[in-house]
A and B are shown apart, each in its own frame.
Chain A
């Protein structure tokens, strides 16, 4: 389980960084999205992995706090998803504006 998650995070982050360094705006935004997925998974992993456990509350675990997953990484992931969704949407708007103003999708606004 750990190795699958680690490989998943690594592949997403590696692809994200590669795309982020490309000169086309579409690649940049896809790279940012992939990178943010990788980081969301990473935050969840930092709250410790647990297999075959209830997501929030098991039927038997109400009194036993050790049976509960850590809520803080989940809250952090949720916040990060919402914020990165909003900022990515805003970035997309700026990309479209840039495309409209300069007529090219190169990040510097002109073809090299």
Chain B
């Protein structure tokens, strides 16, 4: 159990290193097998850790001290409910994307599998780490791998989008460093739990500096989470990235959201003195602006990949705004929404490629033009290539409708439960100081669902009710199965909404009362026999 806590970081690292050592095109099958095995092992490990964190009375399953140094002085990994939840989400999406890539995408360029594993290592490390220094290192690891993956398959559209993506993220990393060093200069520590104990005691003369540091740090993560107006890099990059990569990128914005949740509640939650609720207003307003921007963008987008990218913005905007509300129940509902929307978007990114396969490039743009100016070119005679499987369109259509239901938040799938939970908890809360902002947020939440539904319906009509002479896409089982599994997980989330929501609310409560986390990290007993023993 004890050494299992570091496995989500070490396992992908070793797997990636072995794949690099194998190298070469001719050993790609071994790399692929290793990638699949590691991804599924990560799913199993995250489930074990999640159960351990859930049964632990404090919500902290354990604190892994590297080198066995006591907490404020060295590296700690903290396994609590939120971290294991995010680990499970990442590993599920990663397993689906890895299986999907086997059909053909991993052959589109070199080193797909090692980069994939290194990115998983970075994501898992960012979720588990207990101090800002290692957070920086893990974020850079995941970004460096994601640069490579965003460019996987090459082509001028990808290189152009990747150029912007890299430039924006390099600047965000520099902001991260400024924020971290300002916070260190004021408090003298970078351990998150230690920071939480020191921030209430900061003097008034240093508080402005601390808040400036936290603000700059927050900007760095808001760039990654895609908050308006820091999100203009996102739609282009996600739309240009190869589909399995875009599916796992759906988690990358959630890494930013996760760190915002973690740090804002740990460092600036209730009872942290003068800085309590620092930045909540900005998160609420920014989140609402992001939802509005994403909804408008998804209505305006002419191809499905961009539509999905704008849906990513809606999803992360909703999460940021709900964190800004700063209420325990709403945070729990937001976590439920986070899981549901990420799974739905991951499935959607994978599905887009299947639906759009074998269509001529620019078909969607032409379709929009035809909607406007009428159909004039009915004389084209394309012949059927491809083996027409009659059921394919049907299966794809059902999957597409399911994605639309999850993303727009219609019953019966988990998107509805998530949005309903956010609405009821936000309305049911006792009187609070910004009723107008809450009403605007609820309005935006419902309207963004409507916008998603309209946009998805339009896209669906264009691709599924298209002219009968279009070629039927040839879809393999290993491409369809990951999409089906991700949507099945959304269905399970609906059926098991009770227990899952209980877990989310327990997570939110431990986030809003972080003393268990702080005590768990700082008081973790030195037990060399435990931490060095076999699992």
Residues of A that sit less than 8 Å from B by CB: 20, 25, 28, 32, 35-36, 39, 42-43, 46-48, 72-73, 75-76, 79-80, 83-84, 86-88, 90-91, 94-95, 97-98, 101-102, 107-109
Contacts and interface: CB of A to CB of B under 8 A. Distances in A.
Contact of B184 (A73, A80, A91): A73
A101 B170 contact: no
Contacts of B154: 97
- Tell me whether chain A's interface is mostly helix, strand or loop, or mixed: helix
- Tell me whether chain B's interface is mostly helix, strand or loop, or mixed: helix
Interface stretch (B175-183, B324-332, B411-419): B175-183
Contacts of A86: 144
A98 B160 contact: yes
Interface in B100-156: 133, 136-137, 140, 143-144, 147-148, 151, 154-156
Given A87-B140, A90-B147, A107 B163 contact: yes
Could you say which of A48, A83, A98, A101 has the most chain B C-beta atoms within 10 Å of its C-beta?
A: A83
A42 to B, nearest CB: 6
Contacts of B163: 25, 91, 94-95, 98, 107, 109
Contacts of A97: 151, 154, 159
Contacts of B10: none
Interface in B165-190: 166-167, 170-171, 173-174, 177-178, 180-182, 184-185, 190
Nearest to B144: A87
Q: Which 10 A-B pairs have CB atoms at the shortest separation, nearest pair first?
A: A46-B185, A46-B181, A43-B181, A101-B156, A109-B160, A83-B140, A98-B159, A39-B177, A91-B166, A97-B159
A76 to B, nearest CB: 6
Interface residues of B, number: 31
Given A28-B167, A79-B137, A80-B177, A46 B182 contact: yes
A73 to B, nearest CB: 7
Contacts of B143: 87
A74 to B, nearest CB: 12
B156 A90 contact: no
A56 B180 CA distance: 22
A28 to B, nearest CB: 6
Contacts of B470: none
B164 interface: yes
B242 interface: no
Could you say which of B144, B147, B177, B180 has the most chain A C-beta atoms within 10 Å of its C-beta?
A: B177
A88 B180 contact: no
Interface string B385-425: 00000000000000000000000000000000000000000
B156 A102 contact: yes
Contact of A101 (B147, B159, B182): B159
Contacts of B294: none
Contacts of A43: 177, 181
A87 B173 contact: yes
Contact of B166 (A72, A73, A75, A87): A87
Given A90-B147, A109-B156, A83 B167 contact: no
Contact of B167 (A47, A72, A91, A102): A91
